[in-house]
Amino acid sequence: MKTISKGLLYFFALGISGYVAFVYGFLPLGSLVHPDMKGSFLAHPYGIYIHAFASIVALAIGPFQFSSRLRENRPNLHRWLGRSYLAIGVMVGGFAGLYMSQYAFGGTVARVGFAFLAVLWIYTGLRAYIAIRRGLIHEHRKWMIRNYSLTFAAVTLRLYLPISMVGGIDFAIAYPVIAWLCWVPNLVFAEWWFNSKNKIRPQVR
């Protein structure tokens, strides 16, 4: 089960990263989004592009950072990947996402949902960085799990959207709900994972 879970994590993270890179790198902006969303995309292209490509960095790097083999055998690589993850992916992608949340389709509910996601993404990233700078490895890992659960919203968002379409739910109704559904259960699961299962044990540097 552990191997399957890891395989799915890499599959979805790298698969969605490749999909986003292709869509935003080779197709006209807004070509694959709902027509009601295309206007805000075209009105704020820099915000969209910065958020998309910076977030890819975090989504793609994340699974490798949870590899104990990488941490033990290539600690310097782990550190540099972590810096790229936090500086480019979370900070740049997070602030661009916060900016774009103001123009999200779906009204106030969707905008607040995406704004909370961006703020918590940045906050958990900062907490993870502060913890590792203080040598608190256990705390660093807990905050990174929280942070990546929010990063993974890029995946769950793209899973819920087609599911809602297949279910015949009107896009105007589904999207504001998905603005919250794409990250709240992820964060709840992260809390459950390292609290109830006690999979992470404190370590001293």
- Read off the pLDDT of residues 70-126 as tens digits, 9 standing for 90 and up: 999 999 999 999 999 999 999 999 999 999 999 999 999 999 999 999 999 999 999
136/3: higher pLDDT:
136
Q: In this predicted structure, what is the pLDDT of residue 200?
A: 46
- What's the whole-number mean pLDDT along residues 185-200? 80
- pLDDT of 205 > 50? The answer is no
**Would you state the pLDDT for residue 98?**
98
The answer, yes or no, to whether residue 128 has pLDDT greater than 50, is: yes
pLDDT confidence tier of residue 132, bands split at 50, 70 and 90? very high
C-alpha to C-alpha distance for 157 and 88, rounded to whole angstroms: 21
**Would you state the pLDDT for residue 140?**
95
pTM of the model: 0.91
C-beta of residue 49 within 8 angstroms of C-beta of residue 24: yes
